[in-house]
């Protein structure tokens, strides 16, 4: 499996980290190895925050392989408030198609930290319909009632259909904005909610 974290490389100038990671993955030998991992070896890939940006730019989500993207491809762009957002948000599991989510259930709601300036998921209507039909919308930002929303208090970047994470057609490549990897003993003691989406345990279980 490959896990691509976030991280503000290149000063996180517009598309900074995403472009940096994409350039590395487009090296011919790396590209061939990554495509072989997901197409021939039943491997898993996950990208969070800047890692999600890179997976989008590479086409790994939503297409399932490194490929050329075009004007109809989904993208991640500037938050609607035009500035960085750093807070805790709630997300709902909308599809358990991905092996990264095999230990959670559709409808489960988790609290996750976000920290990004370019996390707004955008796609045209046709692409969104395909993602819905294929079960590729993995997670959505939700309000206190657990409902997807465009309210900036809960959807921190203004993503279409409140989309926080998507997958490849078979679910084995998963990209999301919220930092579900930021868990550990002693964190968020004064904040109610469930933080552990068990993504790493789910991925390991996939191979066991």
Work out whether strand 120-122 and strand 75-77 pair parallel, antiparallel, or are unpaired. Answer: antiparallel
Of the candidates 46, 49, 116, 118, the residue annotated as catalytic is 49
Active site includes 144?
A: no
DSSP 24: H
Active site includes 46?
A: no
Stretch 83-105: mean pLDDT: 96
Specify the residue for token string 């993208």: 75
Active site includes 179?
A: yes
Domain ranges within the chain, ordered by starting residue = 2-207
Residue 52 has pLDDT above 70, yes or no: yes
Of the candidates 13, 144, 179, 194, the residue annotated as catalytic is 179
Stretch 152-176: mean pLDDT: 98
User: What percent of the chain stands above pLDDT 90?
Assistant: 86
Torsion sign (Cα): 118, 153, 195, 206: negative
Pick the CATH number of 2-207 from 3.40.50.2300, 2.60.40.10, 3.40.50.300, 3.40.50.880: 3.40.50.880
Question: pLDDT digits over 62-90, tens only?
Answer: 999 999 999 999 999 999 999 999 999 99
Contact between residue 49 and residue 119 where contact means Cβ atoms under 8 Å apart: yes
Of the candidates 116, 118, 164, 181, the residue annotated as catalytic is 181
């Amino acid at each position: 499996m490959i896990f691509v974290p976030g991280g503000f490389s290149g000063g996180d100038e517009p598309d900074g980290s995403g472009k940096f990671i994409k350039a590395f993955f487009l090296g011919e030998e790396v590209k061939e190895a990554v495509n072989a991992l997901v197409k021939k070896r039943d491997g898993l890939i996950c990208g969070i925050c800047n890692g999600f940006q890179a997976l989008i730019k590479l086409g790994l989500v939503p297409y399932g392989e490194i490929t050329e993207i075009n004007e109809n491809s989904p993208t991640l762009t500037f938050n609607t408030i035009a500035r960085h957002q750093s807070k805790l948000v709630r997300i709902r599991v909308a599809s358990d198609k991905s092996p990264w989510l095999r230990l959670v259930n559709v409808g489960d709601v988790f609290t996750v930290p976000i920290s990004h300036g370019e996390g707004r998921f955008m796609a045209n209507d046709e692409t969104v319909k395909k993602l819905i039909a294929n079960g590729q919308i993995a997670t959505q930002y939700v309000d206190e009632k657990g409902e997807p929303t465009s309210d900036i208090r809960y959807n921190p970047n203004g993503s279409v259909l409140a989309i926080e994470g998507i997958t490849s057609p078979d679910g084995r490549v998963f990209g999301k904005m919220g930092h579900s990897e930021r868990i550990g003993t002693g964190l968020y003691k004064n904040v109610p909610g469930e933080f552990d989406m068990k993504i790493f345990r789910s991925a390991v279980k996939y191979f066991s």
